[in-house]
Every structure is written in structure tokens, then in C-alpha cells.
Amino acid sequence: MDHIHILSSIILSSLLTFSLTIHPVISTSKSNLEEQQPVAIDVSPFIRIYKNGSVERLLDTKVVPPSFDPKTNVESKDIVYSLEHHLSVRLYLPKNTNQNRKLPLLVYFHGGAFIVGNASNPAIHHFLNSLVSEAELIAVSVDYRLAPEHPVPAAYDDSWTALKWVASHVNQNGPEDWLNFHADYKRVFLSGDSAGANIAHQMALKHGQKEKLEGLMINTTFKGMILCHPFFWGNHSVPGETETEYENNRAWGELLWKVACPNSSSGVDDPWMNPGKDPNLGRVGCSRVQVFVSEKDYLRERGWYYAQKLRESGWSGDMEVVEYKDEGHDFHLANLTSKNSVDLRRRIVSFINHY
């Protein structure tokens, strides 16, 4: 059975009970694919899945090349970390950094509900240029395989492979000199937005459960984790979330997860999607966590709930949750110069530079 038939049989059969109009289509013109093939599952504004198994991505498809950014004085370049899956990371470094200077290392995972997005996305690229300049750090932005062609846990597996690749530079003998000479491996931070924040959490949890990163001691912990509008969900409402609010978004959250992880036996209560159901939550392998939520984001209460459950889990680190009024999901990527976007980056800089 070829890949297209596998995609059709697994993804399409798992969604038979869902309406194909749960979320409105925002496109006013039909694509070439839509003209040729009927739509089986419409997950607008993210993707459409056609009856022949093909996938059309509607959001976050733009890319920008790595470059020197004169506004921030930051350089970037792309390096392959997985030959098997043709995956790259994008590295960021302040230009003219002294050869012997060690900088905090931020490993960043992009969002997109596990089904869209990439490390070369313009919004991510410009955000990291600004953050690298303001925090004076080196950043690694990770590309990973997307569902539904590559269902979760492919994104987790790729992200772990990327972390092992980064860790191979600890003794200054890895393949990339920026990481050999400028990364301070005693100041490593994980971060991401939306699904990328979910991935960052899973990477910290995996490391905290004594999964060994090549080049790092087993008892090494990450310095901190920064989660922007984390993509979590569950089968029930959480504190602060009315039943009406939950029901208004329930089908959408379930649909996104079914497309991303069709083989999950517990649906949105899978610990990958609902950390409150994870008996190992207290083993998150970092000492400090910063969570950003927004008032107008339907995932707002999930961020607060994550912080609550992590505190209750026996995890002994420091937690900070910051909420922004009158803002929506990933607002900090949409407008880098707004007052709240500038404040969010300022808080991240303070979090990273607090020793």
C-alpha cells in the first residue's frame, strides 16, 4: 500500500464522524487541487485533505532565506540535521560575536497545530532575529515533519533528533562551529509557540525522564522553558473555562488533534495533548518555566491549567505565567513592534538572563 493510500485509509476513516464544515473556509477561490479533486476533510484555515489523499496547505507556506539582518545585526544560516528526512535547523547568531564568547542557547520549535508551518516562516524568522539581538543569544530553530503525512509522534521524534544533534557540539567537536564555539551548554533554553510549545514541553519531559542526549550527562537539566500560547486540549473544560466556552471550541480542538494524531487511543486526553493526564508530568527536565497566554486566545485557560498541574505534580521548579489583555493567539509574531510584543520579548530576555 503506497503512502497516499495509507494517508487516506488512516486519516479519512478516523474522521468519518466529523462534519467537514466545523470551521469555515476562508478562501474565496478554488485551488487547482480543489478543482481536480473533491475535498474530504476541510481544516481551513490550515489544510485541506482531498479524497485521493493529497494535502493542500493554506497557511504558513511562505519562507524566507537565511541572511544577515541589518536591523538587528543578526546572521542566520540553515544546516541539515537529518539526512534521512531532509530536515534542517536555522541558526541565528549576533554578527561579529567574539570567537571565545559563550552565549545562552535557545532551541525553538515553530507552531502550526502539527500540520502547517516551518522554521523558515517569515514571522518566526523576524521574531527570532529580534529576540537573538535583544537577548544576545544563539538560537536554533527546528524544522520537523508535519501531519497528516507524518502523524505525531513524528514531530517529537524529529525534535529529539535535532536536540541530539545540537548536543553533539558540547565538547566543541560537532559539525557546526557556531554551536561549537558560541553556545553555553550550561544555559540551554527550550521554547516554542502553540504546537511548538507543546513540543518544547515534550522535549523537556523526555529529557527529565532520563532519556540521554548524546553529548550531555544524563542528569543535565535545561535551564528553562518558554511556552508561548501552548497548544493543549482535553475532553473536559478546565478551571476558568465555562462549559459554553469549552463546547464552542471542543469540536475544533478534537478535529485538529485527530488530523495530527489519528491513532491516539485516548483522543484529546492523550498526555501528548493533555499534560494534566500525564503521570510523569512532575519529571519535566528544567528548573524554570515561563508561560505566555492571551485573553482572546481560546487556548488561554489551557496555559493556566498547564501551570497549575505542573505545580501540583511535584515538580520543584519556578513558574511564571504572563497574560496579555485584548490579544489573540500568537499576537507576538503578527506584529513585532506592538507594545505587548515588545513587552513579551523583554520578559523572555529577563527570564533568560536571570541566573
Q: How many CB atoms lie within 10 A of CB 311?
A: 14
DSSP 83: T
Could you confirm whether 194 is annotated as catalytic?
Answer: yes
Instruction: Give me the long-range contacts of 308-314 (CB less than 8 A, separation at least 24).
Output: 308/239, 309/275, 309/276, 309/281, 310/275, 310/281, 310/282, 310/284, 313/281, 313/282, 313/284, 314/282
* Distance from C-alpha of 93 to C-alpha of 195, rounded to nearest angstrom: 25
- Helix, strand, coil percentages in the chain from 3-state DSSP, rounded to 5: 35, 20, 45
User: Would residue 73 be called left, alpha or beta, if left means φ above 0 and alpha means ψ between -120 and 50 degrees?
Assistant: left
* Contact status, residue 228 vs residue 194, Cβ threshold 8 Å: yes
Which of 8, 130, 168, 194 does the annotation list as catalytic? 194
Sheet holding 47-50, edge to edge: 39-43, 47-50, 55-57
| Adjacent-strand bridge partners of 68 | 75
* Contact status, residue 229 vs residue 294, Cβ threshold 8 Å: yes
Residues tagged active-site: 194
